[in-house]
A and B are shown apart, each in its own frame.
Chain A
Amino acid sequence: MKKIIITVVGKDTVGIIAKVCTYLAENSINILDISQTIVSGYFNMMMIADMGKAGKEFGEVCDDLNKIGENIGVSVKCQKEEIFDSMHRI
């Protein structure tokens, strides 16, 4: 399993989750968990996904998601899970 964390921050609009999920499905990236909240008035979504079976490299997925974000006017960030694990878990 290669867990990645995808975060989407921006103004809430129709279809944010749909667009990101479609991309993930097309690239065989399995979503494990989704949560969303509003932080300081901004839409904030986090997905934990597994890209163990993904056809693309991490860097490419990252760039693609950034572009999708730009098109809908939100910021999409994609990071490997370890950064959060090491910071918040002993």
Chain B
Amino acid sequence: MINQFEVIETNKMVEEYNLDVRTITMGISLLDCIDSDLDKCCKKIHDKIYESAKDLVTTGEKIAKEYGVPIVNKRISVTPIALVGGACCKTPDDFVKIAQTLDGVAKEVGVNFLGGYSALVSKGTTPADELLMRSIPKALATTEFVCSSVNLGSTKTGINMDAVRLMGEIIKETAELTKDKDSLGCAKLVVFCNAPDDNPFMAGAFHGVTEADRIINVGVSGPGVVKKALEAVRGESFEVLCETIKKTAFKVTRVGQLVAKEASQMLGVPFGIVDLSLAPTPAIGDSVADILCEIGLEYAGAPGTTAALALLNDQVKKGGVMASSYVGGLSGAFIPVSEDQGMINAVTAGALTLEKLEAMTCVCSVGLDMIAIPGDTKATTISGIIADELAIGMINQKTTAVRLIPVVGKGVGETVEFGGLLGYAPIMPVNSFSCDAFVNRTGRIPAPIHSFKN
């Protein structure tokens, strides 16, 4: 039988160290909503999402109450809209109409984000993909809850540099259209290499075409719990350090597994995966950077950071894998800047640069995340940064992503406030040397040699 110390431990994790289930995300396939008539398509999308997810929020709240563990977000991911709208959308504005439909139904069912305003263009771009990409700025400026992602490359296909170039411009335009809100639109837009089909986390969640009609994916959290556990083993060997992270990750993931199974059963929707990511929030003590400091760094970004992050990421996976029957999504440590107080402190102290963050993304999920850069950064420079990051993903057979916010009207030294889970960020300097001629080449970067495994 459960003993009192185990009960106290679990409840302390929740009450004092910010243990929570970060998100229950329902993936919904919209492939059966395709129609050559835009209005009909929008109606089908609305009806399917509403019918599928109308009980999602209340179910999440019920589970949270039963187990005494907060479930912070309830979200929806849908089939990439470029595939769904291809038959009826002839202009970018047609796609915007679908975005507004998605936003409306997200509000109706009470979720706080809906992901999947997406295109998968890792090898080539269809006319519908291009229309969707061009519609992103307006779609994000005129909606509140819709998140957009574009997969620009993969280990199997290489990198679609034409799309990378276009997305540099789209990010700039999105920033411009939402400049009255500190370019907030860009916080809801992410580009990927090797995007997973079952990621429950925003902004990059979409419901891949390989998935079932509906699915429940769960993202756990718990940086505060790991940090607290590590406080007890200060000065101990790497073996002790790693074992401690592993055991903690196991416990955290078990909570996610339980919640996922329960939600799946209550909603009558199959359980997909648990994503093992350590996802920080701006709350004090809920920080991945603080774990790195606890491992032994003065600030995240100090020499040793990449190694510390590599071991953290690996131990989280090792502990989590056994705790869940199906693991997927991104599953690692997230290192967003604005959403992590420890990262913000590191940037403010001058310990953490964009280049060091790029190195860190080689060993963790996911990538350059929630980084505010000067508003006058050129589109080609953004494309260059994206290409660098995607190359890391392509060569290392991992997911990488870029979510940069060129804050219109602001420069290095200023800060930008997004509010809520998105946090705030100091604007980071960007290498200003030109990569125009590189980015302006057309075509794509071929797949790497190690992709030929057949």
Contacts and interface: CB of A to CB of B under 8 A. Distances in A.
Given A37-B4, A82-B258, A88-B251, 14 more contacts: A7-B7, A32-B1, A35-B3, A46-B7, A59-B65, A80-B67, A83-B69, A83-B255, A83-B258, A84-B6, A84-B7, A86-B254, A87-B10, A89-B2
A58 B11 contact: no
Contact of B6 (A32, A58, A87): A87
A49 interface: no
A48 interface: yes
Contacts of B62: 59
Interface string B2-19: 111011111100000000
B257 interface: yes
B66 A80 contact: yes
9 contacts: A7-B11, A36-B4, A46-B8, A79-B66, A80-B66, A83-B258, A86-B258, A88-B10, A88-B251
Contact of B4 (A35, A62, A82): A35
Interface in A23-45: 32-33, 35-37, 39, 44
A80 B4 CA distance: 14
A74 interface: no
Interface in A65-90: 77-89
A42 to B, nearest CB: 10
Interface of A: 5, 7, 32-33, 35-37, 39, 44, 46, 48, 58-59, 62, 77-89
Interface of B is mostly: helix
Given A7-B7, A84-B10, A48 B258 contact: no
Contacts of B67: 79-80, 82-83
B11 to A, nearest CB: 6
B1 A86 contact: no
Interface bracket on B: 20 to 34
A84 B9 CA distance: 9
B1 A48 contact: yes
Contact of B8 (A32, A33, A39): A39
Interface in B87-120: none
Please indicate which of the listed interface residues A37, A82, A88 has the most CB atoms of chain B within 10 Å of its own CB.
Answer: A88
A82 B2 CA distance: 10
Interface string B401-415: 000000000000000
A85 B323 CA distance: 12
A83 B4 contact: no
Contacts of A48: 1-2
B446 interface: no
A84 B255 CA distance: 9
Contacts of A36: 4
B10 A83 contact: yes
A35 B89 CA distance: 65
Given A83-B255, A86-B255, A77 B11 contact: yes
A62 B65 contact: yes
Contacts of A58: 66
Contacts of A32: 1
B429 interface: no
B304 interface: no
A87 B21 CA distance: 14
B68 interface: yes
A30 B66 CA distance: 18
Contacts of A86: 254-255, 257-258
A69 to B, nearest CB: 13
A38 to B, nearest CB: 11
B255 A87 contact: yes
Interface string B245-267: 00000010011011000000000
Contact of B2 (A5, A39, A44, A59): A5
Please indicate which of the listed interface residues B3, B8, B66 has the most CB atoms of chain A within 10 Å of its own CB.
Answer: B66
A17 B255 CA distance: 29
Which 10 residue pairs are nearest across A and B when measured between Cβ atoms?
A83-B67, A79-B68, A86-B254, A88-B6, A46-B4, A86-B258, A84-B2, A35-B4, A87-B251, A87-B254
A48 B4 CA distance: 10
Contacts of B6: 84, 87-88
Contacts of A5: 2, 7
A78 B67 CA distance: 8
Nearest to A44: B8
A44 B15 CA distance: 15
Given A59-B62, A80-B67, A85 B2 contact: yes
Contacts of B9: 88
Nearest to A85: B2
A49 to B, nearest CB: 12
Contacts of A78: 68
Nearest to A89: B2
